A = this chain, B = another copy of it.
Amino acid sequence: VSRAGEFRQLHRPGRPLLLPNAWDLASGALFAAAGFAAIGTTSLGVAAASGKPDGVAATRDETVALAGRLTRLPCLVTVDLEGGFDDEPAAVAELTQSLYLAGVVGVNLEDGRGDGTLAPVARQRAVIAAVKATTPDVFVNARTDTFWLAPRPPGSLDETLRRLSAYAEAGADGVFVPGLADPARIGQLVEAVDRPLNVLINPAGPPLAQLADLGVARVSCGSLLFRAAMTGAMRALDAVAAGGAGPTDLLTYADIQHLAEHAEWDGAGTS
């Protein structure tokens, strides 16, 4: 079985793949060293770390560079391509193939657009079909933003189902509905869609254990870990600024160096 095949097999309804999302090599190495078999990327983290806007196809180069780095880690890597970074299905297919040849096993393709609207279903079908025609082995996770885009009214389950069915028919290997937090709706989607369902962990929504019981096959962390990192840094800084010496219970310099062994880089160093 190929590495993409291994990744496919990790999508088990009821025993979901928990996917940490990395924004740089250090975060990816951290998650790989903790034993996670697969990691994703977070477009917010990638955008913020490099100072580019998120969700408006501005971070193609940064995403490709990050994917290249993450594939050096001893884990499977799936990459968030937002809407594909290009209007042309053929261009998205070419990008995906180049990532796959570099060792990436999966991609996320979303129908939400930078202006807050949803791409036409036909466009998403064409993109997914082009990607799968060019790289049949890659795991395409088709994301619909029916419950996600802020300017839109609360999502409709009918619209969501219509989109997910169309994407599955076009060849999507899995489907992803971020923003969905209602257990009943999650359960309905698991039943209605013939593909592994991916949801985003949400501190205000069902915990991982309940998502498993509902039959979810994959749980992404999205921007959660990036936001936890920023929060951790700010708290430590606040503690020092208040006159203190900083927290004593952090990962050490040696711990970070140890990550080097997993990332195949040599972290010997000095500050």
Interface residues of chain A, those whose CB is within 8 Å of chain B, are 18, 20, 24-27, 29-31, 34, 42-45, 47-56, 69, 72, 80, 82, 110, 112, 114, 145, 148-149, 178, 200-209, 219, 221-238, 240-253, 255-256, 259-260, 263, 265-271
A245 and B49 contacting across the interface, CB-CB below 8 Å: no
Q: How many copies does the complex hold?
A: 2
A110 and B270 contacting across the interface, CB-CB below 8 Å: yes
Give A259's nearest chain B residue, CB to CB.
B48
Identify the interface centre among A202, A253, A260: most chain B CB within 10 Å of its CB.
A253
B54 and A245 contacting across the interface, CB-CB below 8 Å: no
A206 and B245 contacting across the interface, CB-CB below 8 Å: yes
B230 and A149 contacting across the interface, CB-CB below 8 Å: no
- Can you add 13 more A-B contacts, CB < 8 Å, to A44-B253, A53-B265? A25-B50, A42-B271, A47-B265, A48-B256, A49-B49, A50-B69, A80-B271, A203-B245, A224-B250, A225-B233, A228-B235, A229-B229, A231-B250
Give A148's nearest chain B residue, CB to CB.
B270
Q: Which of B53, B224, B225, B238 lies in contact with A268, CB distance below 8 A?
A: B53
Distance (Å) between the CB of A204 and the closest chain B CB? 7
Give A230's nearest chain B residue, CB to CB.
B251
